[in-house]
Structure 1
Amino acid sequence: MRYYEVSIFGLYLQNLIFHSEEKIPSLSEVIVDIKMKKNLRALVIKECEKPNFQTKAIKELTPFSLSKSQFELAKFISYYYATTIGFVLGFFSTSKEYSCKKLEILKKPNLSFEQQKALEFLNNQSSSLLFADTGSGKTEIYISLIKDYLEKGKQVLFLMPEISLTSQIKKRLEMYFKDNFFLWHSKVSKKKKQECLESFNEGKALLIAGARSALFLPFRNLGLIVVDEEHDNSYKASNKPYINVRDLALFLGSKLNIKVVLGSATPSLTSFYKQKVFRLKGTFFESRKYFLYDENELSLSPMLLNEIQVSLNKQKQAIIFLPTRANFRQIFCKNCGDTIKCPFCSIAMSLHKNRNLLKCHYCNFTKNIDQSCPSCKGLMLEARKMGTAELKELLESKFIHAKIAKFDSDEITSVKKLNNILKDFNDKKIDILIGTSMLAKGHDYHNVDLSVILGIDEYLFRPNFRSSEETLALAMQVAGRAGRKGEARVLLQTKNRAFFEKYIQNYDTFLKDELENRKDLYPPFKRLLRLIIEDIDKTKAQKLCEYLAEKLAIMKNIELVGYGICGIEMINSKYRFHILIRSDSYKALISIEEYVLQFKNINADIDPIEFM
């Protein structure tokens, strides 16, 4: 009889020991039973000695296994994000052993002199950052790199933020690689995903263009990872384990000699500081932008209305960014000053006028619109902070002949809807497109000569050390959607004109100045760990927070930055407290992560990007 240490896919359990009469190679997929659960997929970690307790038999050996590169990645996630290997394995897909076939790619991009220099630079680095202005042609550089690897029979992973995975990128890839690639993201059907997994088993999956989850596919000959829009926060998971796929790609590259290319027009400060950088300036097509500043509060100011009319008169299109979806972010009581809050989360509910209800954008609780203030019973209720739906209604009343559409997560609920609205916009069936940050995600709008950025100051003053970086990047990405060819205007409605005037056309200077601001305090010079304590009993949560803060304050190699109640005090009926820790050593932070695993109501977020 042989004994094996196995890990069960997706379960938050320590490794278990099972027996079998067969000799089973490490990293093989098997089927096992445990108490109350039958026919579970599990991974053989290694053969081990007979334990001093009774074991269950392995029921079945499947033809699938995990590749060594996948297992290296799973082990690292388990270690760095302090969770069990079994839970981490739930993200991964297994495959049969396979070898890849070389592809012959007949078509290739015609690169400019500067693009060719960029390609040579990237070829000479194991990992690097392509810092390329919007419209400078970085996609052609990616495609040239990808072509070289596919012709060697190497696999390529092209990572993008989820919302960038539109028909647009599909068309670009089809131009060069025909049908020799797969898309992988949350909106792809089960049938298509199954076809993709089968293509791995046949050695035919050489190029995958995908969102975050594509990193966990069963690559066995991965040679290149491209992380486009590497600054985008969607690469970081918002729940346990709080992985950052950009960082995991870099780990995989360093561990297994895989080339990693990060790309962005507005790179993250950490990548700019840590990576070797090629700066690609200018635009592929002749274009010129003029920046206009409207120093009014968020409103349909005369200046804004005039600029929209100018574009409509020229039969050009406009895009308008607004940070808030729905009609208004909050309903405000003029009598007592309170807002109508979610009963389960300590945040204001948003008005959705078309559905005649209030909705919490954290827990999705909905209720009918209040006729009086829940706090003081006053009847003087007023809507504050305009949202995309309200802006659309107001613009429709001002420009009665214009075709106006909304582009936010309330409107775009499927890939089909996304593609349809982008097609309608590019076919000039829409004159004005109003949206949230989805507007900024790399879409090409051919006839846009006006980008309007509203409500941007709300981003700038968030309690987050990255707020300046993220706000400027967002503004530049939205601005970059206008004037892909020819002249364009960018109108910013802001009370912080000096900040945007200084940096919006000079991200290089911003990065250098921001590095000075963060020295000895924040990443990339320090590492952070955020502990979030949640409990339905506020007193219990507070006492645990204070107890841990007291213990952490005297520990070596770490600094207690601060602790207390979270900016959003309650979500889903649980009170929230947090502790922020700073250190030079990631090992010191991992030891704290491991220590707090004993508390069921604590989440540990290493390298956090959210602080509410």
Structure 2
Amino acid sequence: MTNKKMRVVTCPLTPNQLHDAQLDLPKNAKAQAKLLAYFETTEEDFVPLKQLREELGVSGQAIQKLVDNGMLQFAEKKVNRDPYAGREFERTEPLALSKEQQAANDEILLAAKEGRPETFLLHGVTGSGKTEIYLQSIAEVLQKGKEAIVLVPEISLTPQMVERFKSRFGDAVAVLHSALSHGEKYDEWRKIERKEAQVVVGARSAIFAPFENLGLIIIDEEHEATYKQEDNPRYHARDVAIWRAKRHHCPVVLGSATPSLESYARATKNVYKLLELKARINQQEMPEVHIIDMREELRSENRTEFSRTLLEKIKERLERNEQTVLLLNKRGYASFVMCRDCGYVVECPNCDISLTYHQATRKMKCHYCGHEERVPEKCPSCESEHIRYFGTGTQKVEESLAKLIPEARVIRMDVDTTRQKGAHEKLLTRFQNGEADILLGTQMIAKGLDFPNITLVGVLNADTMLFLPDFRSAERTFQLLTQVSGRAGRHVLPGEVVVQSYSPEHYSIEYAKMHDYHGFYKHEMLMRHKGAYPPFYFLTLINVSHEEERKVIQTIQDMASFLRTKLGPDSIILGPVPSTISRIKNKYRYQCMIKYKKEPTLKNELKSLLEHYQKEQAKGLTISIDVEPYVLM
């Protein structure tokens, strides 16, 4: 990557020489006279060539003539590719902190002042003012001449976070996330290296920002799985943050309304220091949550994606000019295409997974290998013409809304509508400006949004993640429901939440209804203890894949047998078994999981296994080892 350069024009003449040069010009050289007059009045040393031509309406020929005569000169000037160039950020002043906020802020600043690499878990209910604590603690750290890193879990959260930090700290903020172009990333990185930025806001990889004098690291929504990288190097941003904090003698703040069980367990054992914010700002009430049993809706012949309660409440909001957020944890038009006569489901030829139908392209797509194909007119298995779309995607819900409430203005926010650069920010700005009544989206809208006019949140299907083969599925459901509920009634207007579910009696939904994190934590810890899962055990997942299934089975069985001879009696090896998605890109996948409390030699044993299979890996065998995995499928 290189610096971006721009062609500029400069004038080497003194004011007197410029005046004389204009008098010496022939009368018909009007463009040249215009150029010299411009340089006589401008205070700029360098004027971009493009700007000069556009502003004065002169040709390149006229500029070239003056350059040839030594009156003007061309030069190359380095340009910073600022992703937020041209945007005005209105300066904000620090807000008065509540007693709880002040106590938390004082603890963080004391650790920063004393140079203690302490890890704080800031557990605050949604809307309790965690961001203001971040801003004020960073302001103090900057006054001491130090720097700060702020991590956010998703690109969609970055625009609002960037706005808050730029409004408070101006140009001292650099931004790092994957939606920037390579050139913008390069220039933001150089801005940090040149010490022009003291605060970095960004996603996971921003933890590596080249600061030399770190005073504070903040990880917002610390429970999010996106902080763990799923391919090599498989680091967790939290672990890197704690390591950097020790090196720079500065505190780390992990903030969340729904901390991960591992983090909260560490806080109860005093490994982390717990800071709690139990009330919302201005003592605003938590939104009322209504759980709707969708089985009852089906019995009442309601086959739409919306319960009657949710539809009524959306219409009420429209009448009152208030806004609604609707969460659906999927993208695309329909989940899968199935024959109603024989039950045949159209699957990807390269992966053991059904294809997802996308209406915009009228094609079915595999979200693992990218394979695309048209929807068959007849069932490939029984030749029936009754081949239909099943499941619900964001596109389909948008269509249903248009039929049920045609007057509602809807903004859809999912992977398909946010592909273009800056799309997240444009869509959220439109919603903030009141250009839509309903924001319909996937997980990306569940967190971080803070709009005063949102008074209703609807979760269309709370069960999407509940029954995945993953020990964290209940925790993730609780977190998602709590986070999305927290988007409602954050300011003056009171909020309401409607959660639609086919299993409303599940404990994660019950606790989310009551906004009871501590109750959920106790219940889930019992489940984890029973199943020997984190935080009671550590996990390591070994995954082997190859185009020949026999080779995969043989390899992973040998690996599991070897490890059983090396591990202690308290450790557990589960498997080998086929992975949940047993084939991706024509490669068969098998896995085994190691559960252990203390295995000091495990790291070396795994290294020796990788070395042993080096030749096989060069021939196409893939072995991946994930310590503390976040995705088990």
Answer yes or no: same fold by TM over 0.5. yes
Measure how far apart 1:327 and its partner are: 0.6
User: Larger % of strand: which?
Assistant: 1
Which position in structure 1 is the counterpart of 2:576? 563
Provide the C-alpha distance between the structure 1 equivalents of 2:273 and 2:184, rounded to a whole number of angstroms: 37
Paired residue secondary structure (1:567)? strand
Query: Quick one: which of 178, 198, 206 aligns to 2:170?
Result: 178
Give the match for residue 419 of structure 2. Answer: 413
In structure 2, how many angstroms separate the alpha carbons of the residues matched to 1:586 and 1:460?
A: 32
User: Whole-Å Cα distance in 1 between the matches of residues 404 and 93 of structure 2?
Assistant: 49
Match of 1:292 in 2: 290
How many angstroms does 1:594 deviate by?
1.0
Shift of 1:549: 2.3
Q: Tell whether 2:487 aligns with 1:481.
A: yes
C-alpha distance in structure 2 between counterparts of 1:592 and 1:265, whole Å: 39
The match for 2:593 is 580
Aligned residues: 508
Cα distance in 1 for residues equivalent to 2:225 and 2:521: 18
Residue 150 (structure 1) shift: 1.0
Alignment correspondent of 2:346: 340
Paired amino acid for 2:277:
L
What residue is the counterpart of 1:501 in the other structure? 510
Quick one: which amino acid aligns to residue 215 of structure 1?
Answer: I
- Residue 519 of structure 1 aligns to a residue whose secondary structure is helix
Kindly indicate whether residue 522 of structure 2 is the aligned counterpart of residue 525 of structure 1: no
AA in 1 matched with 2:555: L
With 295-304 and 507-516 compared, the bigger mean Cα shift is at 295-304
Partner of 1:352 in structure 2? Answer: 358
2:552 to 541, 545, 564: 541
Would the aligned equivalents of 2:294 and 2:307 in 1 still touch at CA under 8 Å?
Answer: yes
The answer to whether the Cα contact below 8 Å between 1:289 and 1:488 also exists between their aligned partners in 2 is yes
Change (3 A) 1:515 1:303: same
1:113 aligns with 2:99: yes
Match in the other structure for 1:602: 623
When residues 450 and 589 of structure 1 are mapped into structure 2, their CA distance, relative to the original with a 3 A threshold, is: farther
Label 1:234 to 1:356 Cα distance change in 2 as closer, same or farther (>3 A): same
Q: 1:215 to 1:392 in 2, by over 3 A?
A: same
CA shift for structure 1 position 253: 2.0
Cα displacement (A) at 1:204: 2.5
Please say if 1:515 is aligned against 2:525.
Answer: yes
Tell me the CA shift for residue 178 of structure 1: 1.6
Query: In the alignment, which residue of structure 2 is the partner of 1:29?
Result: none
Question: Alpha-carbon deviation of 1:506?
Answer: 0.4
Residue 492 of structure 1 corresponds to which residue in structure 2? 499
Which of 465, 468, 474 in structure 2 is aligned with 1:462? Answer: 468
Instruction: For 1:376 and 1:456, locate their aligned partners in 2 and report how far apart those are by CA, in whole Å.
Output: 34
Give 1:313 shift.
Answer: 1.9
Contact 1:161 1:234 in 2 (8 A): yes
The residue type equivalent to 1:424 in the other structure is: R
The structure with the larger Rg is 2
Check the 8 A contact 1:537/1:574 in 2, yes or no.
yes
Q: Which runs of 5+ in 2 are unaligned?
A: 1-90, 112-117, 267-271, 296-303
Query: Which range moves more in the overlay, 369-378 or 145-154?
Result: 369-378
* Paired position in structure 2 for 1:248: 240
1:590 to 575, 579, 603: 603
With over 3 angstroms needed to count, the CA separation of the structure-2 counterparts of 1:541 and 1:335, relative to structure 1, is farther
Residues 79-122 of structure 1 show CA distances to partners (whole Å, capped at 9, x for unaligned) of xxxxxxxxxxxxxxxxxxxxxxxxxx995442122110111233
| Matching residue of 2:279 | 282
d(CA) in 2 for partners of 1:296 and 1:546?
44
Q: Deviations over 1:191-226 (max 9, x none)?
A: 333332333343223111111111222221122110
> Matched residues in 2 for 1:523 and 1:403: separation?
44
Q: How many Å separate the matches in 2 of 1:587 and 1:405? A: 52
SS of the equivalent of 1:462 reads coil
The within-5 A match list for 1:71-470 is: 107-125=93-111, 126-274=118-266, 275-285=272-282, 286-296=284-294, 299-470=305-476
Three-state SS of the structure 2 residue aligned to 1:326 is coil
Task: Tell me the distance in 1 between the aligned counterparts of 2:384 and 2:413.
Answer: 35
- In structure 1, stretches of 5+ residues that fail to align are 1-104
C-alpha displacement at 1:310, in angstroms?
A: 1.9
Bigger Cα displacement from structure 2, 120-129 vs 429-438: 120-129
Bigger proportion of residues as helix: 2
Distance 2:249 2:610 in 1: 33
Distance in 1 (CA, whole Å) between partners of 2:208 and 2:566 is: 36
**Structure 1: distance between partners of 2:192 and 2:437:** 43
* Counterpart code for 2:539: L
Amino acid corresponding to residue 606 of structure 1 in structure 2 = V
SS in 2 for 1:514: helix
Question: What is the TM-score when the length of structure 1 is the normalising length?
Answer: 0.80
- The residue type paired with residue 209 of structure 2 is L
Whether the 8 Å CA contact 2:155–2:178 is kept in 1: the answer is no
What value does the CA root-mean-square deviation take over the aligned residues? 2.0
Identity fraction in percent: 33
- Which whole-Å CA distance do the structure 2 matches of 1:231 and 1:292 have between them? 25
Alpha-carbon distance between aligned partners in 2 of 1:198 and 1:240, rounded to the nearest angstrom: 25
Q: Report if the CA contact (8 A) 1:165-1:210 is conserved.
A: no
**DSSP 3-state at the match of 1:429:** coil
Shift of 1:445: 2.4
Q: Deviations over 1:463-486 (max 9, x none)?
A: 111111111000111111111122
8 Å contact from structure 2 (residues 394, 441) kept in 1: yes
Do 1:109 and 1:143's aligned partners in 2 also have CA atoms closer than 8 Å?
no
Quickly say closer, same or farther: Cα 1:414–1:264, change in 2 above 3 A: farther
